[in-house]
């Protein structure tokens, strides 16, 4: 085991020949792809690359496979449930998904309002049940009752869908859902479009207060190293891809996205920081 005090891509590349498995978050893999010395030779001694804690872009999965010959194994777990799903070790590791439910684990997608199960390829809240699920929050009966159903299903707070082959897709957190003018907007859909634009390293989409619509969409963009951004050009590019109500009211370039110790983007910080962004238009 090689434990590092923090993520340093130069150090990671330098130590890669001394290990056979790398367990990381999506940011690890985007940073590795940007490193000039990371290539197929550097990755040749690694048996397995694993990603978790946040959704891995399908584009990153494909680019990583092209660069190294390795298909990242993405899976899905939580503190309250341990591991729920995983792409197979032997079998198809499907880009853009967190794989199939593990043995003994049930996963379903439900309507957040009614709790009714939804059909395949329909977005809703993800619920899980199995021996991996915890018994409840310590000394917090109200929170336990709100999130752990009597039939044993735990309401994860994640939004997603299950496709026709049973693969689970994570689209974001329920609390990150944007409701603008009565429309439900899933930030992940917009982030995928923004991330695909030339010169964009990564993005985060949030909802901010709007007097008429309740909330409106703001896109925060981190430029790729050495790249500058033409925000008007990006806005023009996404108009043909996204429905009008999903198009960001404003794009803002930021030096980096705030992350917690698990490298997850802290959208609550962004919502607070940019809550008045639409007033500046």
Q: In the numeric block, which tokens belong to residue 39?
A: 């290539």
What CATH homologous superfamily does 177-280 map to? ANL, C-terminal domain (3.30.300.30)
Query: For position 226, what pLDDT does the model report?
Result: 86
Least confident of 191-195, 251-255, 276-280: 276-280
Distance CA 237, CA 251 (A): 13
Query: What mean pLDDT, rounded, does the chain reach?
Result: 93
Of 102, 57, 110, 58, the residue nearest 77 (C-alpha): 102
State whether residue 172 is helix, strand or coil: strand
Query: For position 170, what pLDDT does the model report?
Result: 92
Residue 27's pLDDT band (boundaries 50, 70, 90)? confident
Fold of 1-71: Rossmann fold (3.40.50)
Interior/surface letters 176-199, b for 16+ CB within 10 angstroms, e for the rest: bbbebeeeebbbbbbbbbbbebee
For range 50-60, the mean pLDDT? 87
**CA-to-CA separations, 248 to 121, 234, 237, 278, in angstroms, rounded:** 25, 11, 12, 10
The model's pLDDT over 171-192, given as tens digits with 9 standing for 90+, comes to: 888 888 898 988 889 898 899 9
C-alpha neighbours within 13 Å on the C-beta side of residue 5 = 0
What residue ranges of the chain are covered by domains with CATH 3.40.50.12820?
A: 1-71
For range 110-116, the mean pLDDT? 92
Residue 218 burial by CB count (10 A; 0-12/13-18/19+): exposed, middle or buried? Answer: buried
Q: Is the pLDDT of residue 23 over 80?
A: yes
**CA-to-CA separations, 22 to 41, 86, 202, 261, in angstroms, rounded:** 15, 16, 22, 17
Query: For position 211, what pLDDT does the model report?
Result: 80
The pTM assigned to this predicted structure is 0.81
**CA-to-CA separations, 44 to 28, 72, 138, 140, in angstroms, rounded:** 17, 14, 45, 48
Identify each DSSP E strand in the chain by its residue range: 21-24, 48-51, 73-78, 82-86, 100-101, 106-110, 124-129, 154-162, 168-173, 178-180, 183-185, 200-210, 214-223, 250-253
For range 47-58, the mean pLDDT? 89
Q: Is the pLDDT of residue 25 over 90?
A: no
Contact by Cβ (8 Å): 246, 189: yes
For range 126-148, the mean pLDDT? 97
Query: For position 69, what pLDDT does the model report?
Result: 96
**Higher per-residue confidence, 214 vs 10:** 10
Distance CA 269, CA 222 (A): 16
What residue ranges of the chain are covered by domains with CATH 3.30.300.30?
A: 177-280
Output DSSP code: residue 25.
-
Distance CA 207, CA 217 (A): 5
Query: For position 26, what pLDDT does the model report?
Result: 87
Query: For position 281, what pLDDT does the model report?
Result: 52
């Amino acid at each position: 085991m090689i434990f590092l005090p923090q993520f340093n891509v130069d150090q990671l590349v330098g130590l890669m020949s001394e290990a056979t498995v790398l367990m990381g978050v999506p940011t690890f893999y985007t940073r590795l792809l940007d490193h000039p010395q990371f290539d197929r030779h550097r990755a040749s001694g690694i048996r397995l690359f694993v990603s978790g804690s946040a959704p891995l872009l399908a584009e990153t999965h494909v680019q990583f496979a092209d660069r190294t010959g390795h298909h990242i194994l993405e899976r899905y777990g939580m503190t309250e449930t341990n591991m729920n799903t995983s792409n197979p070790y032997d079998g198809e590791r499907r880009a853009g998904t967190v794989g199939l439910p593990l043995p003994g684990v049930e996963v379903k997608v439900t309507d957040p309002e009614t709790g009714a199960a939804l059909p395949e390829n329909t977005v809703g809240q993800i619920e899980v049940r199995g021996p991996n699920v915890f018994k409840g929050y310590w000394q917090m009966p109200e929170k336990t009752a709100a999130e752990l159903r009597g039939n044993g299903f735990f309401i994860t707070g994640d939004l997603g869908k299950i496709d026709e082959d049973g693969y689970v897709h994570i689209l974001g957190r329920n609390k990150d859902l944007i409701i603008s003018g009565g429309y439900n907007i899933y930030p992940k859909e917009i982030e995928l479009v923004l991330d695909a634009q030339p010169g964009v390293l990564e993005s985060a989409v949030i909802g901010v207060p709007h007097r008429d619509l309740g909330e409106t969409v703001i896109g925060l963009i981190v430029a790729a190293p050495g790249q500058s951004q033409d925000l008007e050009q990006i806005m023009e590019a996404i108009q043909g891809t996204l429905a009008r109500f999903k198009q960001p009211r404003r794009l803002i370039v930021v030096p980096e996205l705030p992350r917690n110790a698990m490298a997850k983007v802290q959208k609550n910080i962004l919502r607070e920081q940019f809550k008045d962004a639409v007033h500046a238009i």
